[in-house]
Amino acid sequence: MEFAREHVGPRLVRTTTYVAAAWCAIALCAGAISPVALAAARQAGVEKSSVAKTPDGAQVDQYTLTNANGLEVKVLTYGAMLTTVKVPDREGNFESITLYLDSAEEYLSRRTVLGSVIGRYANRIAGARFTLDGTEYNLSANAGKHHIHGGRNGFQAIVWKAAPVQDAEGVGVKLTHTSPDGHEGYPGTLDVEVTYTLTDDNQLKMQYVARTDKPTHVNLTNHAYWNLAGAGSGDVLAHVLTINADQYLPADPQKIPTGELKPVKGTPMDFTEPKTIGSRLDQVEDRNYDHCYVLNKRPGEGLSLAARVVEPKSGRVMEVCTTQPGVQLYTGGIRLKTGRLSYGPYHAVCLETQHFPDSPNRPQFPSTVLRPGDTYRQLTVHKFSVLK
């Protein structure tokens, strides 16, 4: 596939890149720098590529972010999808630790949520309806009689506008979208911003901002599928997981919360101490975690630890912090084959930071109502490191 490339920002200029690459090649042959340092020197910055077009002719771009340590993040404007996160293992070998498809065209044809931004409402809303300020709103029912992940044509199925971001914090891309009043049944015109920022201390920040002109409900997340051993390497059952939550939300067979907050202690839901993901899977209904955890937060606390994942063989570590009150743990994986890789059950773990499912119909849950004049603002941070 022929890509049109545009280098963005002062840290990556075409002429400078060629000179640096020539110097690095000489230094590498002389043993002066490592291949890892070479990768970082060649690519630090933001790069924009035109990679596909939708059936109706809309251009899909890819933004590649690279920090000073060589970590690489790729984002498509289609679905605001996080398609690649490359980080090193303890030997300095870089691999993508998010499941991905081979090409942008595959994302368009498969209609997957792989790495996409989910909205307007992540997770489920019972009966595909809610009442707000005395008015009942009927949503698209795309999970039996229920509504999930924003409906049939949620945010994962649209092309976002995008612009590079580069400042003292790091390099990134800001994606914007205006969701019209009535889209998938939701009231209000909703202006949404999602900014991915990659910092030089190996953090990937996801900032969500939204504003509305009518009262509505908003609950945004990212649906990345993580495998710290590398995409396509097999299952994640030996990954060691910690979740900072003493309670979770029991749900019915359709995964609609009962409204109860139940202690995790003494159940296979308990990850307050590090445990392998597969250690108690046989005790979980359908042998799959698909549960929302109530994160331990003090009143008014903002960004705090949600989860920590360790892959023992590679030494890769991912810590997830969020301002959200919950995180959905999902281990079912995704069953598909790409040109080079095949994914199956348990080949990834999802840690979807979010408000609770069915909050619009559960007044005892933290509110997801957004009103005109207010701003929805949430932050999730993924911190990557390596055990020595």
Q: Any idea what the CATH number is for the domain that residue 41 is in?
A: 2.70.98.10
Contacts of 98 (CB under 8 A, 6+ apart): 82, 83, 84, 85, 115, 224, 225, 226, 227, 231
pLDDT top residue among 340 and 259: 259
pLDDT by residue (tens digit) across 289-333? 999 999 999 999 999 999 999 999 999 999 999 999 999 999 987
pLDDT by residue (tens digit) across 105-160? 999 998 889 999 999 999 999 999 999 999 999 999 999 999 999 999 999 999 99
Residue (of 368, 358, 365) closest to 188 by Cα position: 368
Which whole number is the average pLDDT over 81-88?
98
pLDDT value for 154? 96
Whole-number Å distance between alpha carbons of 123 and 324 = 14
Catalytic residues: 223, 352
pLDDT value for 31? 39
Question: Backbone phi, then psi, for 106, in 5-degree steps?
Answer: -65, -40
pLDDT value for 279? 98
Checking if the pLDDT of 34 tops 80, the result is no
At residue 58, what is the residue type? A
Contact 50, 162 (CB under 8 A): no
pTM: 0.90
pLDDT value for 18? 29
Domain that holds residue 34: 4-386
Which whole number is the average pLDDT over 343-356?
96
Per the structure, how many domains does the chain have? 1
pLDDT top residue among 3 and 386: 386
Checking if the pLDDT of 96 tops 70, the result is yes
Contacts of 175 (CB under 8 A, 6+ apart): 75, 77, 80, 117, 160, 161, 162, 193, 194, 195, 196
pLDDT value for 97? 98
Residues written for the chain:
388
Checking if the pLDDT of 25 tops 60, the result is no
Whole-number Å distance between alpha carbons of 339 and 102 = 6
Checking if the pLDDT of 268 tops 70, the result is yes
pLDDT value for 341? 87
Which whole number is the average pLDDT over 64-81?
98
pLDDT value for 3? 39
Q: What b-and-e string marks burial along 178-191, b requiring 16 or more CB atoms within 10 Å of the CB?
A: ebeeebbbbbbbbe
Contact 291, 248 (CB under 8 A): yes
Classify 89 as helix, strand or coil.
coil
pLDDT by residue (tens digit) across 171-221? 999 999 999 999 999 999 999 999 999 999 999 999 999 999 999 999 999
pLDDT value for 43? 60
Whole-number Å distance between alpha carbons of 388 and 314 = 10
Checking if the pLDDT of 264 tops 70, the result is yes
Q: What is the 3-state secondary structure (H, E, C) of 63-84?
A: EEEECCCCCEEEEECECCCEEE
pLDDT by residue (tens digit) across 214-227? 999 999 999 999 99
Classify 188 as helix, strand or coil.
coil
- The share of the chain scoring above pLDDT 90, in percent, equals 84
pLDDT value for 65? 98
Whole-number Å distance between alpha carbons of 312 and 192 = 38
Instruction: Return mean pLDDT, the chain.
Output: 90
DSSP letters spanning 268-329: TT--SS-EETTTTGGGSGGG--EEEEE----TT--SEEEEEEE-TTT-EEEEEEESSSEEEE
- The share of the chain scoring above pLDDT 70, in percent, equals 89
Q: How far is CA 74 from CA 66, 171, 204, 242, 310, in A?
A: 9, 12, 11, 27, 22
Residue (of 142, 175, 174) closest to 159 by Cα position: 175
Whole-number Å distance between alpha carbons of 241 and 227 = 12
